[in-house]
Amino acid sequence: MERFPSDQTPLPRNMIENSMFEEEPDVVDLAKEPCLHPLEPDEAEYEPRSSRLLVRGLGEHEMDDDEEDYESSAKLLGMSFMNRSSGLRSNMSVYRQNPNGSCSVLSIRTVVVCIAVFAIVISLILAIYLLPTCTFTKEGCHKKNHTMELIYPLATNGKLFPWAKIRLPSDVVPLHYDLVLQPNLTTLKFSGSVKIVVNIIQVTWKIILHSSGLNITNVTITSARGHEPKRVEFLEYPLHDQIAVMAPEALLVGQNYTVNIEYSSNLSDTYYGFYKISYKDENSTQRWFAATQFEPLAARSAFPCFDEPAFKATFLIKIRRDEKLSTLSNMPKKATTPVTDGIVQDEFIVSLKMSTYLVAFVVADLKNISRETNDSLVSVYAIPQHLNQVEYALNTAVKLLEFYQKYFLITYPLQKLDLVAIPDFQSGAMENWGLITFRETTLLFDNNTSSARDKKLITAVIAHELAHQWFGNLVTMEWWNDLWLNEGFATFMEYFAMEEVFPELHSDEDFLNLIFKAMMKDSLNSSHPVSSAVQSSEQIQEMFDAVSYIKGASLLLMLKHYLSKDVFQAGIEIYLHNHKYGSAQSDDLWDSMNEITNGTLDVKKLMKTWILHKGFPLVTVVRKGKIISIQQEKFLYRVEPENWTSDASYLWHIPLTYITSSCNLTHCTNACLLDQKSAVIELPEEVEWIKFNVDMNGYYIVHYSEDWKTLIDLLKKNHTALSPKDRANLINNIFSLASLGKESLEKAFELIDYLNKENSTAPLTQALFQLSLIYSLLEKNGEQQLAERVMHRIDHLLGNKIDQQSWTDDGTLSERELRSMLLAFACTHDMRNCRTAATEMFEKWMKSNGTASLPSDVMKAVFTAGAKSSDGWEFLLKMYSSSVSEAEKSKMIEALASTDDVRKLIRLMQNSLEEEVIRAQEISHIVATVSQSLPGYLLAWDFVKENWEKLTRKFHLGSYTIQNIISCSTSQFATKAHLLEVKSFFESKSEETSQLRCVKEAIDTIQLNIQWMERNVAKLRELL
């Protein structure tokens, strides 16, 4: 899945058991405690304390192996008395000690007391263990005919629900689904039935699977021997989205059974599951559209299923629809047959084995264009009025599909590949096998209004989703802890494929800037390892972040450069071949790589130091003549020393690269592995300068100690001695070190003094990003005069560059993108004569009632200038509602959110949330833009607080949208009052909310902002 641009550790068994009985709880109190059975590391559960109930009553025949753990826990109820007694014994001075340290004989009194205590203990043990039919509760002793007490939750009907874990049991596995759905786009409801063929791995009396929000009306089980379907009881446990189908007899090992479930539900009004979308057609008539978004946990809200990625099965899908509409699913259509008047049924051919989250279907009025390549039909679909904007996507998809098949040496296995533009879609796109769904802005290219930046975005998203057809679909991560195997790989392949197929787009520069941003997140204590234990839905949703996507991808980039591209490619081929149509863990990838390295390098040992530990290393370099001393430590922003665990002893195995003044070309790159705390490199000769982390291909930051001055002088004299990526890398590293307190801001500003000679996008983008961070922090925290001095410095460095930009779409894609960025920045901050020139263009456009043509690369700058006036803002909003170009509308949104008029900002945010003119999919983008301005940053936070319940109902706790909204609305705060307010707000919500990683990240960021202001404001006054 393409995010749209912008742990619980289990206690050891003895600790679980002992901590239960520190006090003497009665049975009702114990019922409120979490599950007591020991968990595997990947099964660490999160569950609200209030959800557990102690329930009695399963007979012996209803227990399986997993339940035996509950038996031992239940027996321990008696241990509370023993622990209390043994505690007394340990606290009694049974022996009197002589001064010389030897023990004297027991006193008579002590012997009597010991015998009495021992007798009491024995009596209690006998009372508990010899009365197995007695259950102690607050009401007294209750006789039961059952043999054992089990700790299980209650189903909705008050009966015992026979499973207590979030993860499904492994005693039953699905083989095949027959799914029939009938969505009604008038009533906005749907009905369905699913037949699931399951295979029994262990004898059981129950089948546990997922269901969420479905009204189940009938459940039957049929054995493989073809007996009549038997209607059976089912139980529901909504807290875990689980149902239990209770078999009338034991389900036998190795046998197949068919579970048939009939149900109905409403089409969702969120962006998850099987959801409804309204849009206006060419005649401005409201139409309805139904689509799916199942990743990560929403297939269960469209049909009952085993909704975990490792439970792969085949799917036969049939959809009943209005004959005027069309349907799409993962596989090609097999047949269409009439059902009743005006209703037909589309049947699709049986799918390959795949995970439930990849199942997809769309019911709508769509048009398409198609082209065949390598026996697969590639089609791009959109609503009719957008059909003229799909050609670029089709050409791009065909080229990328051909590239991936050659690179992986595995043919795309389906007969068709559909790319569908969805009018309302939360993510950037979703990789459903054979039916990729996109937000319209990431698929539709309008020749008149789409900019160079838009073209790059569309290409990148298509490249990402097509890479998933192999990484994620053909081979799927076993569980969400290894999400990076899907998303890190797809992100890595996205940029690699773009470099190979579309070199003119210079996508490597974009990847570089994404890595810098990921490292900012990864340097906080609230970060997480690339591979992290997850259990609850919120934890799973939060894995869709920059660490899984960007850090995962950058680690693969680092490995590719270290192994060589041929070895890396061979390792990928083995990995895909060994695990196709199955599931994999991180170790499976490293094992595949080790098959190629054949003992020359232990890839698993190397990469485990990166994926199992959060953060990244800081490498300090000291040069003395020919001797280079290097040392590693963790790069970490520290805000509350008393809460930190020391990582001083942690070692990464770092593939270091470096170039020197003696030869700075690519083929002169030197490499070595730093797997110790420190090491020494001896050069063959003395050099003028040395630069580590060539082209930022490694995931680490470098501190050059005394050598920073040498590199600063090099940039002033001959900046082209280093590549654009190396120059951007130096800018990023020195500002990061200044924030850490390892270098001075003065030296950082000195390094960027060369920028008036810079013409490359990567270093200019990075310098502007770093200076904008400083400007925003000062401006929002009462230091407006100092902020203006920062802007003056930016003007001094980049003013001439801004003046050189033409208001056209001329030049290479890279030049056009740079122009777009510089002019948008200049108009936003009223630099030079940018706003005057842009306002003139906007007024001409407004006088033509929006019919005059605007150069697409400067459109955002023109709209931003125009939206500063009240009339301009209102006109832009009117044009937004009638525009058919999603690229144009995206630029309008950003301009509308850049106004200084507070009332208009409130209106805009509210409008998006209520979906009056602007879709809710835009809310994250709007809040992020509003947060950047001085009039808007407090408004954005107030809006989030006031509408928190609405936002989390629409977007789900932990989702990337919620992560982004929290981050953007709080990232400008730098006072203790705001820190307290943010902490208090999230603590006042649910426990799940306060424990969100993005909340902790927001708090870390505010604390760092406070620290930065305290450290640097006085220094900046002197410096500027």
Q: State the catalytic residues.
A: 465
Contacts of 418 (CB under 8 A, 6+ apart): 328, 368, 379, 380, 381, 434, 435, 436
Sequence-ordered list of residues with C-beta below 8 angstroms from that of 492, at least 6 positions apart, any chain:
552, 553, 554, 556, 557
If you compute the radius of gyration of the chain from its CA atoms, what whole number of angstroms results? 32
- With CA atoms as reference, report the closest residue to 365 among 379, 382, 349, 377: 382
Residue with tokens 């609200």: 48
In angstroms, the first-to-last Cα distance of the chain is 45
Question: Which residues have a Cβ under 8 Å from the Cβ of 130 and sit 6 or more positions away?
Answer: none
Contacts of 713 (CB under 8 A, 6+ apart): none
Question: Strands 416-422, 286-293: parallel, antiparallel or unpaired by DSSP?
Answer: unpaired
Angle at CA of residue 633, ends 632 and 635, nearest 5° = 120
What is d(CA 370, CA 416) in angstroms, rounded to the nearest whole number? 10
* Counts for the chain of helices (H) and strands (E), in that order: 33, 33
Residues 6+ apart with CB under 8 A from 281: 287, 365, 383, 384, 385
**Cβ atoms 573, 408 nearer than 8 A:** yes
Q: Are 536 and 46 in contact (CB under 8 A)?
A: yes
Nearest one of 489, 589, 482, 584 to 533, comparing CA atoms: 482
**DSSP structural state of residue 548:** I
| Sign of the four-CA dihedral 504, 508, 512, 513 | positive
**Cα 680 to Cα 623, 659, 672, 676, 704, distances in angstroms:** 10, 16, 11, 11, 15
SS3 label, residue 618: strand
Neighbours of 13 (CB within 10 A): 15
Instruction: Show the CA angle centred on residue 332, arms to residues 331 and 333, nearest 5°.
Output: 120
Report d(CA 446, CA 481) in Å as an integer.
39
User: Could you tell me how many residues make up the chain?
Assistant: 1024
Alpha helices (H) in 502-564, listed in sequence order: 507-522, 537-542, 546, 552-563
Question: Two tokens at 453?
Answer: 């930046």
What is the separation of C-alpha 1002 from the centre of its chain, rounded to a whole number of angstroms? 16
In our burial notation (b when 16+ CB lie closer than 10 A, e otherwise), range 195-216 reads bbbbbbeeebbbbbbbbbebeb
Contact assessment for residue 286 and residue 280, using Cβ atoms and an 8 Å cutoff: yes
Six-digit token string for 906:
């409130």
The identity of residue 13, as a single letter, is R
d(CA 389, CA 380): 10
Helices 13-20 and 79-91 meet at what angle, rounded to 10?
A: 80
Among 613, 539, 549, CA closest to 996: 539
Candidates 1010, 1008, 986, 984; CA nearest to 997 is: 986
Torsion over CA of 789, 794, 800 and 802, rounded to 10 degrees?
Answer: -120
